[in-house]
Amino acid sequence: MTETLSLAAYPPEVRDAVARTREVVATLHAELPRWELIVWTAGNVSQRVQVSPDGPSEADLLVIKPSGVTYDQLTPEAMVVCDLDGNLVEGTRSPSSDTAAHAYVYKHLPHVGGVVHTHSTYATAWAARGEEVPCVLTMMADEFGGPIPIGPFALIGDDSIGRGIVDTLSGSRSRAVLMQNHGPFTIGRDAKDAVKAAVMVEEVARTVHISRQLGDLIPIAQSDIDALYARYQNVYGQGDSAPVQTDDTAAALDEETHA
Ligand SMILES: O=C(CO)[C@@H](O)[C@@H](O)COP(=O)(O)O
């Protein structure tokens, strides 16, 4: 944590957005124990706060939980606000130890509005082997557009985890990456979308793990993966749950549209 800035330096509409985001991020942290994605304090959720009406920028802020605080204490007031260089903007406690990773993702992937990190059991077991989860379920094609990739081993404390996340996801349609020997990080158009990806990556990691113990996995043809993913982007649900679009997704959709 470096210099402390003040939220008073930001216009009222940003301060209001921070207050709303505190509520969202505090509420979403309760989803991690609810879906059994964490033990003790081993997980965190953040959401971007855009400071310009023109869209996301490196001047944005993020709201994240304080480090090492149990989830029963994570009220909106307990949340911490930082800029994308990790500077504390508002908060009485130290931000999550993964703040630098979250901030790096927001800085380098402007379409990302939410980031989640857990140590969920099955996804982390795949990370311990440095093995990507192959795309053998239609739900994986829907949600992740392919396999769940592995990111490099990286020590916590600087932006190396964030760099590993961005380098891995920039070449993938997946909204989840398994950082080797560490665990899953997920991204989304907002924090709720990233929490959904965290729930789904643990579900598919468990299913594929169990299936592989019982026999050989059957791959899904790439053309079918592409069709399932494109459908999920355009048809599933009420039209408001389409996952965050990466450059690859946008290109795939463009190809699909003009095929
Ligand atoms: O993975 C790690 C530490 O290795 C962290 O994500 C985990 O302990 C949660 O830390 P925070 O309580 O968010 O600082």
- Decide: 68 in ligand 1 pocket, CB within 6 A: yes
Q: Residue 101 Cα, ligand 1 centroid: separation in angstroms?
A: 11
114 neighbors 193 (Cβ within 8 angstroms): yes
The verdict on whether 71 is a catalytic residue reads no
123 neighbors 201 (Cβ within 8 angstroms): yes
Tokens representing 188?
A: 């989304």
27 neighbors 111 (Cβ within 8 angstroms): no
SS3 (DSSP) at 147: coil
CA-nearest of 193, 198, 218 to 208 is: 218
CA 136 – CA 218 distance, rounded (Å): 6
28 neighbors 104 (Cβ within 8 angstroms): no
Please identify which residue in the block is written with the tokens 């991020």: 25
- The one-digit pLDDT tens for each residue of the chain (259 residues) are 455 679 999 999 999 999 999 999 999 999 999 999 999 999 999 999 999 999 999 999 999 999 999 999 999 999 999 999 999 999 889 999 999 999 999 999 999 999 999 999 999 999 999 999 999 999 999 999 999 999 999 999 889 999 999 999 997 999 999 999 999 999 999 999 999 999 999 999 999 999 999 999 999 999 999 999 999 977 777 765 555 554 444 444 444 444 4
The Cβ-side half-sphere exposure at 150, using a 13 Å CA radius, reads 16
- Decide: 96 in ligand 1 pocket, CB within 6 A: yes
CA 144 – CA 138 distance, rounded (Å): 10
User: Strands 176-179 and 150-151, how do they pair?
Assistant: parallel
At the topology level of CATH, where does 7-235 sit? L-fuculose-1-phosphate Aldolase (3.40.225)
130 neighbors 213 (Cβ within 8 angstroms): no
Mutate to test the pocket of ligand 1, among 41, 71, 88 (most ligand atoms within 8 A of CB): 41
Atom from ligand 1 closest to the CA of residue 117 = 6
Closest residue by Cα to atom 4, ligand 1, is 156
CA 100 – CA 85 distance, rounded (Å): 7
The verdict on whether 142 is a catalytic residue reads yes
